[in-house]
Chains A and B, each alone.
Chain A
Amino acid sequence: MNEFESHILIWLNGLSGNVKLFDDFMRIVASDYLMPLMFSMALLALWFLGKTPAQRFEYQLATIMGASALGLSNIAVWLFNITITRDRPFVDYGDQLNLLFYPPTDPSFPANPVAVGFAASMAIWKVNRTFGWWMFGLSALFGFSRLYAGVFYPTDVIGGALVGIAVYGFTTYLRRFLEPLVGSFVRLMRGLGVA
């Protein structure tokens, strides 16, 4: 499996260096700033999108779930990282890869950016399918860009997506531990005129 996915990675990364405009687009998509901000923007948008008070309340709960899942994904990835130390592809195949992104120092599995993206997307998808599918698309693009840049293996990206989805599931379960605190927080925000 490792050899097979290495072939996929080397082939994908081998596509870089041909069309500079596409490489530059992937560099920007892979950056630490664009996609994470898009995920935050999507959650912020969800906060204001509801057209009725009931729908708005549901969306705002989803925003809180998404933001919490996003934070908890980082913890979940960190727990994986201290348990499984998988080297980055450029450590094993440095001479065969054209690195488009700086070489991160943390372990490769699971892909943290993808976990974060999928956790936020799940929260959005639960309340608005169309918006959610768009966000899944963006998360997948983020994962692909890091793959193309040569900093993750395909299974890191798949693992990251699964971790993100699982963490969202855990977050909804955690919310039941904390009720009625979460709903009360939205009420407080409404009292302050921001929800």
Chain B
Amino acid sequence: MMFDPTTARALMESHYLVFAFLASLGTMQITVSISGIRGLWLTPNKLGTRSLGVALLATAIIFFFAQPLWVEGPWAEGSVEADSATRLWGTASLDELAAARNVNDIHGGMAGTNQAIWFPIGAALAFAVSAFVGFVTSKVSGSKPLTSDDEPVGLEALKSRNYFEILPASWRSFRSEIAVYWRIRLAGADGFSIFRILFRRNSG
């Protein structure tokens, strides 16, 4: 192995972030088109949003696994064998492409814990992009702002509004309901609920 595993890991992490972002964006578009959450659509119609979602998901997978063809990394042509200890730095050949990403985490691959850090960042970015594009789309098409607390909140409200319109009412609703929700659920919780035990002690 003629490279530093931390350099290889940093490269893998940057690739993985793009992979997680694109795949999350695609998945999000497919699912919000099914559940009718228009405020997160990247296109104005259902079929377009779903098709874009499928395309983004497919692109994420193809792009991630094909990247070694043009990006230098621990997959140099001729060095890609099952054991990643003998890898060299360079671009992969088409013949070895399928195995290029199979790098042990001790040689610069990503461990599960590492993926568990980067995946939520990619998913959060995907939500932010969806919310922003949904906001721009609604401004272009001109939707009415949310005015009443009786209106639906959260994702349900996003069926007909954009994210920035639903946020104040959603937050107000959370603040006004959470104490009641907590009390009711606490009363109905199992006797061994940690919070039930704690709060009973405090009140007693």
Q: Judge whether B6 is part of the interface by a CB distance below 8 angstroms.
A: no
Q: Which of A2-10, A29-37, A79-87, A160-168 contacts B (4 or more CB under 8 A)?
A: A29-37
Q: Judge whether A41 is part of the interface by a CB distance below 8 angstroms.
A: yes
Q: Judge whether A61 is part of the interface by a CB distance below 8 angstroms.
A: no
In the complex, the answer to whether A48 meets B102 with C-beta atoms within 8 Å is: no
Task: Pick the contact of A176: B19, B106, B190 (CB < 8 A).
Answer: B190
Task: Pick the contact of B174: A178, A180, A191 (CB < 8 A).
Answer: A191
Distance in angstroms from A67 CB to nearest chain B CB is 9
Residues on B with beta carbons closer than 8 Å to the beta carbon of A15: none
Within 8 A of A (CB), among B13-63: 16, 19-20, 23-24, 27-28, 30-32, 34-37, 40, 57, 61
Minimum CB distance partner of A151 in chain B:
B82
Q: Judge whether B204 is part of the interface by a CB distance below 8 angstroms.
A: no
Q: Judge whether B2 is part of the interface by a CB distance below 8 angstroms.
A: no
Minimum CB distance partner of A179 in chain B:
B189
CB-based A-B contact count at 8 angstroms: 169
Residues on A with beta carbons closer than 8 Å to the beta carbon of B110: 32-33
Residues on B with beta carbons closer than 8 Å to the beta carbon of A103: 82-83, 104
In the complex, the answer to whether B192 meets A176 with C-beta atoms within 8 Å is: yes
In the complex, the answer to whether A49 meets B31 with C-beta atoms within 8 Å is: yes
Interface class of chain A by DSSP: helix
In the complex, the answer to whether A184 meets B182 with C-beta atoms within 8 Å is: yes
List 8 interface pairs A-B (beta carbons < 8 Å), by A numbering: A33-B19, A37-B119, A176-B189, A179-B189, A184-B185, A189-B154, A193-B167, A193-B170
Residue numbers of B with Cβ under 8 A of A are 16, 19-20, 23-24, 27-28, 30-32, 34-37, 40, 57, 61, 64-65, 82-84, 97-99, 101-107, 109-110, 112-113, 115-116, 119, 123, 127, 131, 152-158, 163, 166-167, 170-171, 173-175, 177-178, 181-182, 185-186, 189-190, 192-195
The 6 residue pairs across chains A and B that have the minimum distance between CB atoms = A191-B174, A180-B185, A24-B98, A190-B154, A48-B31, A99-B82
